Amino acid sequence: MNAKRVFLFLSLVFSIDLASAGKLSIPAADEGLPGEGPIRRYQWFQNLWEKKRNGWAKQVQQDQGALVFLGDSITQGWGDNFRGHFKGIKVANRGISGDTTRGVLIRLKEDVLSLNPKGVVILIGTNDLEENASPEVIAGNLQLIIGALKQHNPKIPIILCNTFPSSATKKRPADQIKKVNQLYFAAVKGDPQITVLDTWLLFADPKGDAKKVEFPDLLHPNQIGYDKWAAALQPLLATHGFTETEADKFEMEPGFVSLFNGKDLTGWGFRNQRSQEKIASFDGKKASSDGRYRAINDRLVVTTPPEGRRIQQLWTTREFPKNFILKLEFRATPNADSGVFIRRPQLQCRDYVLAGPWKDLKKYKPQDWNEIVAIVKDGVAHCTCNGEVLNAKFKVPATGPIGLEGDRGQMEYRRIRVKELD
C-alpha cells in the first residue's frame, strides 16, 4: 500500500464533513477528493445518492454497531431486510446502485465509520469497469477504503468479496474482473484482519462470465444468486461471532467417543510431517500456536490463511491401531481445500463442487454441513460423503492418528467422533 496516498486520504476522510453543508450531495468537481477514477454524476445517480444518504443520516444512532454491507447495486439489492437472510444479526445496508470505488471513498465517513460497525462486508468495483477505470485504479481506491476502516478500528473483521463475474456485453469482461480480483488480493495479502471470499469462482461459468440462471441480466443476481452469496458468507460470519453462538445440541451415538470437546483443542497438536513425532500439544488451549486452528462454539475452525494458501496439519495426540468408524461433519467456504488424515494418508475434504476431485456428488451441500464417514477395517477405509462413496478401498497403515489439514479458504469441522470395532 502506498503510505503517502493512505495518509493523504485518511487526513481527508477524518477532516472533511460533507454533511456540514446540510446535504449529502455529490461534489460538483473531482478536485481535492480522495482516490482516483470515475465519480458518477448522472442525474438519476445524484438523486439516488442524496435520497439514500440523507435517509441513512437519520439512522446513525439506531445502526450503531451493525454489520455493514458496503457496495453498489448488488449490495443495495439485498434490501433493508436482506431477503430474509442474516436473521438475528444487526445489519445495515450501505449499497448505492451505480456507485464506484471512488464514490465509496467519498461517503465512507458518514455512511460507515459513523456507525462504528462490528464488521464490514465489501463488494465494489464492477461499475468502475463500465466507466473504463483501470484495474490498478480500482485496486488503489480499495486500498484507501481498507486503510480508513483499519485506522478507525484495527480489530474490525473485514470480509472482502471478489468482484462478481459479469459479461463483456456489460463492459465488464472476464479478464478485467480477474485482474481486479488479483490486485485486490495483492493489496490485502498477509493482513489477518481481512478475509477474502472467492465470490468470483462461486458464480463464474467456464468462460469466467455470469450465468443467466443466477444473473438474468448478466450483472445483478436474482434470488438464487443472493441465496448462494448468503450461504458463502455464513461460515465466516459464524467464525467472527455474528451467528451460531449457541451450543451444539448433537447427541452422540452409543459406542462413539468424541475427539473434539468443542471448547478447546485438548487431544490435538502438531506433529513433524515426515516422522509424525509430536512437537506441540494444545490441551486446554482455544487455538493452535499459529492461530490457524481454533475452537469456536463446538466447531473446530481451520481459518482462511491471510497469505492465500498455507498448508498446516493438526493431529490427534492419540493413535488408533484397532479397526474403527470415524464420523465428522465439515463445512467449506467456496473453493476451500482441506483434508482428513486417516492414520496418515489424506482423504481430500474440500468444497467438492468447485475444488473437486468429486465434482458430481448429488448430495453434497455447498457451504453447508456435510458428513464424512470412514469405516476402517484391516488396513482399508471405506469413505463416504453424505452416503455417497468417495473411496471404497482407501489403503491406510496399521496404526496412526487422525489429522485435519488446512490449505486455502476456511474449513470447519464438528461432531468428530470414533467408535472402535472388535
Indicate the domain borders of the chain.
Answer: 3-239, 257-420
- Burial (CB count within 10 angstroms: exposed 0-12, middle 13-18, buried 19+), residue 264: middle
pLDDT number for residue 219: 98
Q: Considering the domain delimited by 3-239, tell me its CATH architecture.
A: 3-Layer(aba) Sandwich (3.40)
Q: How far apart are CA 357 and CA 182, in angstroms?
A: 25
pLDDT number for residue 273: 87
Q: How far apart are CA 223 and CA 209, in angstroms?
A: 18
One digit per residue, the tens of pLDDT, for the chain of length 422 reads 455 555 455 545 444 444 444 468 999 999 999 999 999 999 999 999 999 999 999 999 999 999 999 999 999 999 999 999 999 999 999 999 999 999 999 999 999 999 999 999 999 999 999 999 999 999 999 999 999 999 999 999 999 999 999 999 999 999 999 999 999 999 999 999 999 999 999 999 999 999 999 999 999 999 999 999 999 999 999 999 999 999 999 999 999 999 999 999 999 999 998 899 999 999 999 999 999 999 999 999 999 999 999 999 999 999 999 999 999 999 999 999 999 999 999 999 999 999 999 999 999 999 999 999 999 999 999 999 999 999 999 999 999 999 999 999 999 999 999 999 98
Does 257-420 match 3-239 at the fold level? no
In order, the DSSP letters of 284-296 are: T-SB-TTSSEEEE
Structural contact between residues 132 and 100, judged by C-beta atoms closer than 8 angstroms: no
Region of residue 116 (phi > 0: left; psi between -120 and 50: alpha; otherwise: beta)? left
pTM: 0.93
Q: How far apart are CA 422 and CA 416, in angstroms?
A: 20
**Topology of 257-420 in CATH?**
Jelly Rolls (2.60.120)
Q: How far apart are CA 374 and CA 369, in angstroms?
A: 17
Beta-strand ranges (E) seen in 226-285 are: 257-258, 268-271, 278-281
Distance between the two ends of the chain, CA-based, in angstroms? 60
Structural contact between residues 373 and 384, judged by C-beta atoms closer than 8 angstroms: yes
